[in-house]
Amino acid sequence: MVSQTHAPRKPEIPSASELKKRHAAQAAIVHVKDHMTVGLGTGTTSAFFISLLASHAREKGLTLRCVATSDASAYLARASGLTVVNFEDVKSIDLAVDGADQVDGRKNLIKGYGGALAREKVVEYAARKFVVIADDSKLCAHLDKPVPVEFIPFAKAAVQNSLSALGAKSVRLRLGSDSEPYRTDNGLWIFDADFGKITGPAKLEGLLGAIPGVLACGLFSQNVHSVIIGTQKGAKEI
């Protein structure tokens, strides 16, 4: 019988984007202390943080409780060995760590491309410290990406008209892979509203949040403690 040998499997080399996200996520670990309640964000960068957090907790013997901002993040956290509890079961959030789809130099954010903007806003605005992690492609001088707006389907026409009245150049209903309206974990729909260059993020956030039928918008202008930007060589804080 002729024995067959197989070449050793080569380790997967992370892409440049993955490396930057990992650097940002790793830099955020220093904010984690024993016995903290940690808010977990949603998205690819947050997934790196969740995995690193689980490894860090095991290595250091930390006791942590985690509040997830989406079903996907809760599943990943539990699968990684972290303890996940409901938001209603905690008195406070010590630290929240999450990614962003766009960040300006004044720590204003656009979030929600992963569909979890409402729960992210609830958890991250309640946190004592909110740390944002993002790769350097997300950093810009001014926010100008479309803003996600989560709303109840019943109010679709009224919300769309209100967004246009506030200056949205286009308002697109987000669709899922089945070409049906994308449904959030809350069972609601999302408009992506393009306002072009946003010169007053805080003001626009307030106006969008006041529209009847809107649960939350993806503009985050409050409570950001620090922003960690991942680069090829490491991470920097702004």
Question: Which residues belong to the active site?
Answer: 120
Residue with tokens 């409570």: 223
Q: Which residues of 136-163 are buried (b: 16+ CB within 10 A; e: fewer)?
A: bebbeeebebbbbbbbeeebeeebbebb
Locate 175 and state its tokens: 């669709």
Residue 146, token pair as written in the block = 């479309």
